[in-house]
Amino acid sequence: MMTTEISRSALTLRPDFATIAAWIRPGSSVLDLGCGDGTLLHYLKGKLDTRGYGVEIDADNILACMKNGINVIQNDLEAGLSGFEDASFDYVILSQTLQAMKNTEYIIREILRVGKEGIVSFPNFGYWKNRMQVVRGHMPVSPSLPYQWYDTPNVHLCTLHDFEQLCQQHQINILERRVMNNDGKVTFFPNLFGILAFYRFSHAQRS
């Protein structure tokens, strides 16, 4: 069966999914922005009995979601989440897509309008190997930033500090942060040694 194949591959292919899953209450409602083929939602549905929808713009991904039996809504995230009611989801997830958004502030506002909480993950530009490449005079290219400067979809890369500053400016409460490298969780100088950053946050007035 396709079902079991997906749930098995979810953890091996995308270790970040386990981090996100750990923050989600069983039975809650989830909106996954840029949901790809729906693997995360499928995993959450199977493991935590969540319900919800994925949002995608790519035709192949929409078809993949359909094949995986995942609710998917075609929508351009740059245009916001106008089809979704205020506070209609427990969590709105934006997994490794923030850095590729043009309207970064707008989508974060939209996440907190539609979701009671937001969860984002992004590659940490402040990772020391990225910094070393910049010091050597090059734009960083690495497994977490696999693109050349001329073909990257990433237009708004940031460090942990940068993101936290944005949250402060927009009255966003960071509820939880997790920083990962290839060996697991990073607590020692995370802005230097972390490759991937995860944040769970809510609007300051709501929390």
28 binds other proteins (CB under 8 A): no
Return the number of the residue (84 or 125) whose C-beta is nearest other proteins: 84
- Interface residue with other proteins among 74, 142, 171, 207 (CB under 8 A) is 74
Phi/psi at 23 (nearest 5 deg)? -95, -5
* DSSP line for the chain: -HHHHHHHHHHHH-HHHHHHHHTSPTT-EEEEET-TTSHHHHHHHHHH--EEEEEE--HHHHHHHHHTT--EEE--GGG--TTS-TT-EEEEEEES-GGG-SSHHHHHHHHHHHEEEEEEEEEBTT-HHHHHHHHTTS----SSS-S-TTT------B-HHHHHHHHHHTTEEEEEEEEEETTEE--SSHHHH-SEEEEEEEETTT-
State in angstroms the smallest separation of the CB of 14 from other proteins.
Answer: 22
Binding-residue pattern over the window 80 to 119 for other proteins, x denoting contact by CB under 8 A: ---xxx--x-------------------------------
Return the number of the residue (53 or 122) whose C-beta is nearest other proteins: 53
Q: Tokens in use for 121?
A: 């993950």
CA–CA gap between residue 112 and residue 199 (Å, rounded): 13
- Interface residue with other proteins among 30, 44, 72, 101 (CB under 8 A) is 72
Return the number of the residue (73 or 192) whose C-beta is nearest other proteins: 73
Return the number of the residue (27 or 83) whose C-beta is nearest other proteins: 83
Phi/psi at 205 (nearest 5 deg)? -70, -25
- Interface residue with other proteins among 10, 33, 65, 179 (CB under 8 A) is 65
Return the number of the residue (90 or 164) whose C-beta is nearest other proteins: 90
- Interface residue with other proteins among 15, 69, 146, 155 (CB under 8 A) is 69
State in angstroms the smallest separation of the CB of 129 from other proteins.
Answer: 40
Return the number of the residue (37 or 117) whose C-beta is nearest other proteins: 37
Judged by the rule CB under 8 A, the positions of this chain that interact with other proteins are 29, 51, 53, 59, 62-63, 65-67, 69-74, 83-85, 88
